[in-house]
Amino acid sequence: MSKAARNRRRRQAGQAERQLRRRGFTGPLQGAAALSLLEQETAQTLMPCRATFLDDPLFGGRAVRVTGVTPEGDLITALGSAPDVPVMLFEPEHILALQDTITEQTRDGRIDALVSSGWHRMPPGVMAGLPADGWGLYRTGGGVQLCDPYAGIFAEGRPDLDRRWLSAADRTGSVMVFFGPFLGVRIPAGRSPRTYTGQDRAREFADGRRKGLLAAASVRWHAATREQTATWVLLAENLLGLPLPPAVYVPAQALKSHGGPLGLATLAGLGRGPLDIPVTRQLAARLTATDVDLIRPGDDSGAFTAGYSHPGGPDDPLFITWRTSAARHGHILVIAGTQDLLPDPVTSPAQILAVIQASRGALTPLTLGGQR
């Protein structure tokens, strides 16, 4: 892609983003602008969410226990209410609407991604939370994180978790999670918590369910703070006053399924004198206007070993500066660790260094495209 084409794509994406923030929608988009905005919105994992139970009036009826299925396929239910079934609702602020040019059917890109990875849509009828293998809902210091089987954060939020909900989640070991733009979590403009009633929320939920704009699954509940971080962090060159190129801190779990160390060596001696950091021959870094992808050297298929999409978008000056610095060096330092590098905004330099010293790393060459 030429420089002029990249600049045009950046301008189109920036215009679409400004329109989205100002008006709440963009209207139809095509080509580069649509792809760029799709990538940016997908990277926005923090969203409104709410903890509740399956007997919430939002779902339109009283939950009962299903004890079996007849040979004809009818459900056998037991008398009495079902035990507490903990539910978590994640409601993104925007719909990533994709229209099929043949059927003219509109779908949401993130919901389609969930369905393709083991979740299911929930048309009107039985409220069934089938399990999604490998997915987990983790309690964090400030809320919860919904993580995919590759340790990536798909959604996160800060709901109120009361004792009853936590006890039910701990007892069952799983949580029924709903994801969609019409779950009654957000209060519409011009309404208040008092005027937006439970009936209004139930109608919103039923409408989203009827349109197929909802995905659901039962996922494993992790009560304790997750043992390994799932957060990527970009680090500027000359980190902590050390002569280092720009770096990216990668959750070690994101690389674990691809064969272990991948040429990364311990960084225990960093900051304690001269340290010979190796150059890995098993990874390369592909940089785009919004992404940092770690790939196998010479792989032009578009696949990646692990990847990060910067939530600030293509016009974020911090990411532009980081990417320009990386291009000047021709490589980045990839650091793979298990601890949170920046657990809070006032993390001390000494704590950051200690986390890096407990990690592994290697200098990773950029692909030719990433050096432009």
What torsion do the CA atoms of 57, 60, 64, 68 make, to the nearest 10 degrees?
-150
**Residue 28: pLDDT above 70?**
no
According to DSSP, residue 138 is labeled E
Structure tokens at 185: 């979590």
Which residues 6+ apart lie within 8 Å of 305 measured at CB? 255, 258, 262, 283, 294, 295, 296
Q: Which of 114, 195, 146 is nearest to 47 (CA)?
A: 146
pLDDT of residue 307: 84
pLDDT tens, position by position, 224-277: 666 677 788 999 999 889 999 999 999 887 786 555 568 899 999 998 888 899
> Among 17-26, 99-108, 203-212, 345-354, whose mean pLDDT is lowest?
17-26
Structure tokens at 351: 């704590």
> Among 32-41, 187-196, 202-211, 233-242, whose mean pLDDT is lowest?
32-41
Higher pLDDT, 141 or 223: 223
Structure tokens at 286: 């592909």
Q: Which of 311, 38, 261 is nearest to 153 (CA)?
A: 311
Higher pLDDT, 96 or 160: 160
pLDDT of residue 23: 46
**Residue 319: pLDDT above 80?**
yes
Q: pLDDT class for 126, splitting at 50, 70, 90?
A: low
Give the C-alpha separation, 199 to 47, whole Å.
23
Mean of the per-residue pLDDT values of the chain: 81
Structure tokens at 13: 């994406």
Q: pLDDT class for 84, splitting at 50, 70, 90?
A: confident
Domain-wise residue ranges, the chain: 45-222, 233-371
pTM above 0.85, yes or no: no
pLDDT of residue 321: 94
- Alpha helices, DSSP H, located in the chain: 3-23, 31-43, 109-116, 163-172, 198-210, 252-256, 317-329, 349-357
**Residue 220: pLDDT above 70?**
yes
Give the C-alpha separation, 110 to 215, whole Å.
9
pLDDT of residue 2: 43
